[in-house]
Chain A
Amino acid sequence: MAKFNLKINGQKREVDVEEDTPLLWVLRDQLGLVGTKYSCGIAQCGACTVHKNGEAIFSCITPASSLTEDDITTIEGLSEEGDHPVQKAWQEVDVAQCGYCQAGQIMNAAALLNKNSAPSMDEIDDAMNRNICRCGTYHKIREAVAMAAKLK
C-alpha cells in the first residue's frame, strides 16, 4: 500500500492504495466519486474519461500514483452547478438514453472544447469517436457538442 496525495476537483485528497490502482477505482471505491464509470477497463470505450490538466484521459488504465502532480477533474467537478456549457447543451439536446456513458462523453467533449473552441463536425466526430454509446445516442451527442461550442 502507498499513501499519496491527489488534487481532484480542486481539493487535496489523500489516498492509501496499491500503487498500480487505476485512478478510476480510487475515485469510485475510495473517494465515492462514482460519476466516472467503469465499462471496459482497457481504454476502449471512454466511459471512464476524466481530465488531467484539462486533457481527456482514460482513468481505467492510469495509475493514480502517477498523477500526484496533476490537476484531476471528474464529472462531479466539471462545474459547481452542473452548468458547464457542455452540460447545458446536453440538457438542451436531451442527449441521454440509459445515461451510463454520458459522463465520459461530456468530459471528452469538454476536453475537446478546451483545445478547440470551434470544432468542425469532422473534428467533433474524430474526437468523440473514442467514446462508445451502446444505446446509439451519437446523433444527439454530435448535436450537443456543436451547441456547446456555440454556448461557450
Chain B
Amino acid sequence: MATLNKPSRRDFLKIAGTTAGGLFIGFNWTSCDSPKVEVLSTEAILAQAQRFNGYLSIAPTGDIVIFSPNPELGQNIKTSFPMVVAEELDADWTKVRVVQANLDTEVYDRQLTGGSGAMPHSWERLRKAGATAKFVLVASAAKLWNVPVEEITVENGIITHQASKKSGHFGEFVAEAATMTAPEEVQLKEPKDFKIIGTAVKNVDNDAIFTGKPLFGLDFYREGMLQAMVQRPPFGMKIKSVDDSAARAIAGVKDVLVFENSVAIVGSSTWPLMKAKKVLNVSYEPDGSVESTEDHNRIFQDMIANQKGEVRREDGNVNSAFKNAAKVVVAEYQCPFLSHSPMEPMNFFAHVKGDKAELIGPTQTPDRARQTAAGILGIPPENITVEITRLGGGFGRRLAADYVAEAVQISKLTNAPVKVTWDRQDDLSGGLYRPAVRYRFEAALDGDGNMIGYKLKGAGINSGNSTRQDNFPSGAVPNLKIESVEYTSPITTNAWRAPITNFLAYAEQSFLDEVALEAGKDPVQFRLELLDQAKNSPTGEIKYDVDRMIGVIKTVAEKSNWGKNPSTKQGFSVYFSHRTYVAQVADIVQEGGTPVLKKITAATDCGIVVNPTGANHQVRGGIVDGMGHAMYGNLTFKDGLPTQKNFDTYKLIRMKEVPEVDVHYVDSGFDPTGLGEPALPPTGGAIANAIFAATGRRLRSQPFIEQEEFSDLNLVIRRA
C-alpha cells in the first residue's frame, strides 16, 4: 500500500528537536566543495540539520529545508513562502527543499488558507526568518575568520570575506551559529536587491505531481485502515428509517453504521462502498423547511420588497437625494447557489486511539479540524496531531471540518483507522454552498449626470452580510445607504472563493455600467470621475486606495485599447477585494449573429509580485473561474436536494471555452497582497457589460449560458 512519503512532524521532532529553542548542532561530515555523489533525502538532511526557526533548517552539507506552514491548494504558497525566506537568507535556491509543515500552533500563527491573506500576513515574518538566520551565519563566519562582520558578503549561499580570500557555504557555519542568539530586529533587503522574489521559480511539487506520486489526501493509505462512505440527509430532513440489507449484501461491505443524521458504509476498499451506497435504502422525513428553488425566488421577492434590512452604512441623506434627482436608475440582480466542486472530492483520514487522535488529509484550516475532533472526542486539542496533505483544490470548501468530523466519528465507532471518501454526488449534494443572493440597486443622477445618491439592498440565503458596505463606490457618493437582509435556510452555505464579492462585484459593476450609460458617460470615465470625487471630496470613511484603483483602471484601458476598435464590443469592470485591485475589460466580437467572448484583459495591483508564474496562474485562473461560473454555474434545488448531481449536469468550464486572457500588473511597490481571490470578482461584470455593448441585452442574473432566459443570445466563449 502506498503511503505519503514524507517525514511526519513527530519524526522530525524526534530527530532534530532535542533541545529547546531548536539549537540542534549538526556534525560536519561532508563539505559542499567535495563532489557529491548522492543527493541526500530530505529526511537525511533534517537528521543533521540545525533548526534556525519555524521555517528554516540548514544542514552542515549546505542543504536547506524550508517548512511551509500554510495548506497548499493550488495558490502556490508552498513555493512562494519559501522563496521569501530564501531571498533574505541569500540562499542558493537549488539547495532548498520544501516540506509542508504539520499543524503547530506554537510555532506558526494563521496556519490556514483563506481570504487571500497568507502572503500579507506572513511577508515580514518570512523575511525575518531568512534574515535572522543569515545574521547569525555571517556572525559565525566573522568569528571563525576573525574578521569584521561589515566586510562579509553573502551571495547564493556562499559567505565571503574578500580581503582575506576566505569563503564557505552556509553549512560550514551552522555549528557555530547554533551557539548564537538571533536578534529580534534585523536589516531587511531593499526590494531592488531581490534575486529570488520576482522570478519565475517553479512549483516545488512539480516532479511529484507530474509523475503521479502520492500527495493528496485521497492518496493516503495505511495498512489495515478502513474506508468509509456516508449517506447524508436532504436539507431540512432527518432519518426516518434505514434498510441496509441490500447494502450489507454487497461483497466487501463490513458494516453499516448510523451516526448523527447520517449512515456510514464501511469496508476495506472503495468500489464496494460505492455500489452499496446505491442500494442503501434510507427514508427521510421533514425536520424543518424542505426547500426548492421556486421557494427561494419567492423568498427573495419578499425580502427585497417587504423586509427591513440591517443598515450597514449610511452617508448623507439618500431620501432627499432621490427626491431631487433628475433621473433614477433601478435594477435587481440575482445569483444561484454554487458548489465549490474541487477536483479532489472531500476526504479525510482519522485514527482515534483512546484519548489521542491522528488526523491526516486536505484541509484549509488544520486547527479547525483539530478543534472539531477535540470537541467530538472530548479530549484536549494537544492530544491530536494534524498532518496536512496537498489539497486538490479548495475554493473555500475545505475551510469547514464537516468531513473531518465524519472521519473522527467513524474511527471512534469502529475503533479503527478510517479514511472517509465522498463521491462526486456527495460533493455536490453535501452542502456548504456559495449562498444565493439577490440585490436591489438604486442610483440618483442630477441634471449633469452626476451620481448624487446610491442605494443597495442585499438579500441573501444564509449569506450573513451580503454587502461590502465600505467598498467602492462608498466614499465617492454624497448620499448612500447600504443594507442587508438574510433568510435562514437548512441549506448550508460557506465561503466560496471571494466570498460575497464573487457575485456582488458583478452585480455592482454591471449596475454602474447601466448608470454610466443613463448618465451619458463612458463607463471608464464614469468610474474615474467617481474616484476623483472620492479623492477630492470624500464622503465618510474610505477603505480603499483611490490612487491604486485609478492605476489599474488606466492600465487596463490602455492595454485593452478601450473604445478604440468599433468592431470589438467591450465591457469594463474594476473591483478591490482582499487588499488587491483588479480591473478587467472583456472583448466580444459578433460572428454571424453570435456574440463571441474572445478576450479578457486584466490589470492587477497586488504590490510586489513574488512569483510571476504563480501570480499569472492566480489571475488567469481566477478569471477562468469567474467566467466559467458566470456562464454555467447553476445549482438548483428540488425538495431539499440539488438537481445537479455530477459534472454532466453541473457544468464547469472546459478547454475549448477559454478565451485569451491578457494579464498585466501595476508596479506600485507596496508589500505583496494575496491573489487567490481578487481576480475573480470583476470578471462577471466585465463580461455582462460587453454582452450589453454587443447585444443591448442586460444580463441581470447568472448563469449567462446555462439559463433558459438567455438562450436566444447564443452566447459563445472561445479562443481567439
Contact = CB atoms under 8 A, between A and B. Distances in A.
Contact of B2 (A32, A96, A139): A32
A34 interface: yes
B200 A33 contact: no
Nearest to A124: B655
Contact of B221 (A18, A34, A74, A98): A34
A8 B147 CA distance: 62
Contacts of B344: 37, 39, 98, 100
Interface in B220-236: 221, 227
Contact of B654 (A87, A99, A102, A129): A129
Contact of A134 (B206, B207, B393): B393
Contacts of A25: 269-271
Contact of B621 (A17, A102, A103, A137): A137
B251 A18 contact: yes
A65 interface: no
Nearest to A27: B212
Contact of A126 (B73, B203, B345, B656): B656
A151 interface: no
A139 to B, nearest CB: 6
A45 B647 contact: yes
Contacts of A137: 617, 621
Contacts of B628: 136
Contact of B343 (A35, A36, A47, A91): A47
B33 interface: no
B617 A97 contact: yes
Contacts of A44: 646-648
B390 interface: yes
Contacts of A33: 2, 212
Given A96-B205, A135-B621, A87 B221 contact: no
B617 A140 contact: yes
Interface residues of B, number: 67
Interface string B197-225: 00010110111011111111011010000
Interface string B602-624: 00000000000100010011111
A90 B661 CA distance: 20
A47 B339 CA distance: 19
B208 to A, nearest CB: 8
Nearest to A39: B343
Contacts of B76: 97
A142 interface: yes
Given A34-B221, A40-B424, A90 B206 contact: yes
Contacts of B88: none
B210 A82 contact: yes
B656 A41 contact: no
Interface in A31-57: 32-42, 44-45, 47
Given A82-B210, A97-B617, A17 B271 contact: yes
A17 B75 CA distance: 38
B625 interface: yes
B205 A103 contact: no
B211 A99 contact: no
SS class of chain A's interface: helix, strand, loop or mixed?
Answer: loop
Interface string B177-205: 00000000000000000000000101101
Nearest to A18: B251
B211 A87 contact: yes
B466 to A, nearest CB: 25
A54 to B, nearest CB: 18
Contact of A136 (B72, B203, B342, B653): B653
A141 B621 CA distance: 12
B647 A96 contact: no
A75 interface: yes
Nearest to B652: A132
SS class of chain B's interface: helix, strand, loop or mixed?
Answer: loop
Contact of A37 (B202, B203, B343, B653): B343
A91 B392 contact: no
B211 A76 contact: yes
Nearest to B1: A32
A132 to B, nearest CB: 5
Nearest to A30: B269
B342 A98 contact: yes
B394 to A, nearest CB: 8
A74 B211 CA distance: 9
B345 A39 contact: yes
A134 B341 contact: yes
Contact of B212 (A1, A35, A42): A35
B658 A135 contact: no
Contact of A142 (B211, B390, B655): B655
Contacts of A30: 269
A76 B212 CA distance: 6
B538 interface: no
Most buried by A among B73, B213, B344: B344
B645 to A, nearest CB: 9
Contact of B270 (A28, A45, A100): A28
Contacts of B621: 97, 135-137
B472 to A, nearest CB: 26
Interface string A20-31: 111001001110
A106 interface: yes
B550 interface: no
Interface string B387-414: 0001111110000000000000000000
B264 to A, nearest CB: 18
Nearest to B623: A136
Interface in A87-140: 87, 90-91, 94, 96-103, 106, 121, 125-126, 128-129, 131-140
Contacts of B216: 37, 100
B54 interface: no
B613 A94 contact: yes
B639 interface: no
Contacts of A98: 72-74, 342-344, 390-394
Most buried by B among A20, A74, A90, A96: A96
B272 interface: yes
B358 interface: no
Nearest to A145: B655
A125 B656 contact: yes
28 contacts: A17-B269, A18-B272, A21-B271, A30-B269, A32-B221, A33-B212, A34-B219, A35-B213, A39-B343, A40-B424, A45-B343, A78-B211, A90-B206, A91-B206, A98-B344, A98-B390, A99-B74, A99-B209, A101-B392, A125-B655, A129-B656, A132-B647, A134-B343, A134-B652, A135-B393, A136-B623, A138-B624, A138-B655
Interface of A: 1, 17-18, 20-22, 25, 28-30, 32-42, 44-45, 47, 74-76, 78, 82, 87, 90-91, 94, 96-103, 106, 121, 125-126, 128-129, 131-142
